[in-house]
Amino acid sequence: MKQFILRNNLYLLTALAIGVAIYVAVNWAAIPFLQRMVGLFFVAIMLHVWEESRFPGGFAEMITARLNFAITDPRVAELILAGAILYLGFVPLFFPHVAWLAMAAMLLGVLEPIAHLAAIKMFQRKHFYSPGLLTAVVLLLPISIYGIAFAVRNDLMRPWDWIWSLLYMATGLAIAQGTVVRMSGLRYTEFLKRVRSTLFAKQV
């Protein structure tokens, strides 16, 4: 069972995303607005993962090559990524009236295009593209902006709610990223130093 999940985690998560898409489409008029947005986000983030890892793929390889570390078991790394996606994009579906949970996903949707645009400079891409950029800009960003705008217009978020959203998002990302990095034998603090130095390195 363990090996089956390791081999097929992306396909299993994709099947779940299809189920979410069907649920949201069938119940569109009946479910709360933020639940719709989180459902759309979950489907979009799965398409985003496919772009990063398969079509065209190469996002993880781009990072490891430039930052000089190796992912010892890509299947385990994918499983950890799947856990982060469930934490950020699936759990909020069950709490449609907890706005800050939905906004954690929406904030990630805003962060993704920024990260992929920064990756073009960081990794000295020949073309104005990094794997995942298209779905980040075309899908994640519009869904997230629309969801955030709705929350702001309807006064669903207080200042400390935004802090909870940021903490929830940052915790999920840090645990997932830190676990994958430590599996490679690299300290997470060292990884962050390499990211910072690469980001602000002068282009030759």
10-residue block means of pLDDT along the chain (204 residues)?
84 96 97 97 97 86 76 82 95 96 98 92 85 96 98 96 98 91 81 78 56
Report long-range pairs for 117-121 (Cβ below 8 Å, ≥24 apart).
118/199, 119/62, 121/199, 121/203
Q: Do 198 and 66 touch, CB atoms closer than 8 A?
A: yes
pLDDT attached to residue 56: 87
pLDDT attached to residue 99: 97
pLDDT attached to residue 20: 98
Q: List Cα–Cα distances, 65 to 6, 57, 114, in angstroms.
A: 23, 14, 21
Q: List Cα–Cα distances, 59 to 23, 52, 54, in angstroms.
A: 30, 5, 9
CA–CA separation, 17 and 198 (whole Å): 34
DSSP labels, 78-106:
HHHHHHHHIIIIIGGGG-TT-HHHHHHHH
pLDDT attached to residue 204: 46
pLDDT attached to residue 178: 86
CA–CA separation, 9 and 78 (whole Å): 7
State the SS3 of 30-76: CCCHHHHHHHHHHHHHHHHHHHHHCCCCCHHHHHHHHHCCCCCCHHH
3-state secondary structure of 2: helix
The model carries a pTM of 0.92
State in Å, rounded, how far the first CA of the chain is from the last one. Answer: 49
- CA dihedral over 133, 135, 141, 142, signed as positive or negative: positive
